[in-house]
Amino acid sequence: MKSWGSQRDRILRLLQSRAGQWVPLYEITPLAAQYNTRIKELRDRGHIIDNHTRHVDGVVHSWFRLVESRRQPELFSKAQEVTAAG
């Protein structure tokens, strides 16, 4: 049985590999039984994940994309401090 962390990590890796691009839900659902919970956990950890839906012939189609991480600017500034302290 797979852990929640590994499901969350697999979703994050998929979204990171296609950063800024819309990933259809059918590519995400095989990675986690409760994908909405895993995406919420990623958002709670500071990742900005957009989603949108479209109704086509009475069927709802969904996509998600990783926009950025709220932590990225913080990590970047810490890397600059370390480099500057050199």
Q: What is the pLDDT of residues 4-56, one digit of tens each?
A: 458 999 999 999 999 889 999 999 999 998 999 999 999 999 999 999 999 99
Rounded to the nearest angstrom, the gap between the alpha carbon of residue 30 and the centroid of all alpha carbons in its chain is 15
Rounded Cα gap, residues 19 and 69, in angstroms? 11
Neighbour tally for 50: CB within 10 Å: 11
Q: What CATH topology corresponds to 4-85?
A: Arc Repressor Mutant, subunit A (1.10.10)
Greater confidence, 19 or 80? 19
Residue 53: both structure tokens together: 């839906």
Helix (H, G, I), strand (E, B) or coil at 34: coil
Predicted local distance difference test score (pLDDT) of residue 70? 61
- Place 74 in a pLDDT band, splitting at 50, 70 and 90: low
Contact 53, 36 (CB under 8 A): no
Cβ within 8 Å of residue 16, ≥6 positions away: 66
